[in-house]
Amino acid sequence: MKGPVARLREYLRQRRLERTLQQFEGSVVHLTHVDLDAVASNAIHLRRYGPEEVFTVYSGVEDLGEVFRLLAEVSGSTSPKRLSLSDLNFDGDGEEILKTCRVLKGRGWAVEWRDHHPWRDEVLERFEEVLDHVRVDRDYAGCEVVQMDLLPDDPVAGRIAEIGRDRDLWLNEDPLSERLSTVIGGREWNDRVSRMMARGEYWDEKLERRYEVLEREKELAVERSVDNARVVERGGFRVGVTRSAGYNSDTAHAVRERFGTDLEIVVSGMGTYSLRSPHGVCTAVAEQHGGGGHPNASGGSLGFTFLDGLLFRLRGTRHPKVTGLVDTGLEELEAALPQGTPG
C-alpha cells in the first residue's frame, strides 16, 4: 500500500529510468534487489563487463512487475541488450514477467536470471525454456551465484561474494559487511560502493563519515523499535514482533538479544515484513504470507490495502494480518521443535 506521495515519487522515478534506458549505449542492463547482496552482485557485473557497459536498476520485489513493463516499452526503441537479473524473485506464477521476457527475446535481447530464493519447480521449468540462462541455488547468497557464473576464478570477485554472503545469510563474521550494509541505500551510494568493490576497494574516508552519521541514526531507530516490541509466548516459544524503523536485520538481532526470542518479526507501515530465527523456520512462515527467503532470514508482504495501512497506524503489531503472521510463526516453531527450544 503506497500513499499518493509515494506513488508520485515512484512515477517520476520510472520516467527518469525510462529516459536513461533509452539513452544507454552499453550492452548490459542489470536488474537486481536493493540490499548488500544486490550491490555485491552489481560489483561483480561491473568487474566482468566494465562500468561503462552496465546500467543497473535497483528494484524491490513489489516493483518488479512495473520494471518489466517499462523494459518491454523501452526495448522497442533501443538496440538489443543483455538483461541480467540477480537476487530477485517474484510473487505468483510470474506469467506476466515471462511474457515480457518473450518480448525482449523477440527483439534480440539475451535474458539471464541468477537467484538464490525459492522457485516452484514448474515455474522454474517454464523460465528455463524461454531464457538464455537460469541458475537458482539456495545454498548460496545471490552474489555468490553471480560470482560462480561470471567470474569463478577471480579473487576480487570471490572476496566481494564473501562480503555479500556474510550479511545476506546473517553470519556476522565479517565486520566489513555490516559497515557496507549500513552505508548503502539509494542509487548514489549503491553505485559508489559497487564501483569501489569492482576495483577491489572496500572502504574510504567518505564512507567512514557517512557510516558514523548513519550508525548513530540506526542505534536510535533500533532502540525505538525494540522498546516498542511485543513478545508473544506459547508452548515454550517466544516471538518478538515490532514496527520497522528501517533497519530490520539489526532490529531483529536487538530484539533477540533483549528478549531471548525464537523468532523475530519486523513489519513496516506498507505491510512488508522481515523474519529472523535461529531455528530455520523463516521460509516456512514467509511462504504462507506472500514471501520467501532462507531458513534463518526471510521476508515478504502482507498485501496491505489503504485501510490496512490506516489500521496498522492505529493497532500496530496487533493488526489482524500481523497477528496471523505471529500465529504461523508459533505453529512452525512448534512443528520444527516439538520438544521446545533447545537448552
Q: What is the pLDDT of residues 103-143, one digit of tens each?
A: 999 999 999 999 998 898 999 999 999 999 999 998 999 99
Which residue is listed with cell 508452548?
235
Instruction: Identify residue 325 by its one-letter amino acid code.
Output: L
Dihedral sign from CA coordinates of 149, 155, 160, 164: positive
Instruction: State which amino acid sits at residue 77.
Output: S
Encode pLDDT of 222-256 as tens digits.
999 999 999 999 999 999 999 999 889 899 999 99
Residues 164-185 have pLDDT tens digits of 999 998 888 999 999 999 999 9
Segment 85-102 shows an average pLDDT of: 91
pLDDT tens readout for residues 204-223: 999 999 999 999 999 999 99
Domains in the chain, ordered, with CATH?
A: 4-203 (3.90.1640), 226-336 (3.10.310)
pTM for the predicted model, two decimal places = 0.84
Q: Find, among 251, 252, 248, 277, the residue nearest to 262 by Cα.
A: 277
Cell of 329: 510463526
Q: Are 79 and 50 in contact (CB under 8 A)?
A: no
The burial of 259, by beta-carbon neighbours within 10 Å (0-12 exposed, 13-18 middle, 19 or more buried), is given as: middle
Long-range contacts of 300-304 (CB under 8 A, 24+ apart): 300/272, 300/273, 301/61, 301/62, 301/91, 301/270, 301/271, 301/272, 301/273, 302/267, 302/271, 302/272, 302/273, 303/271, 304/1, 304/269, 304/270, 304/271
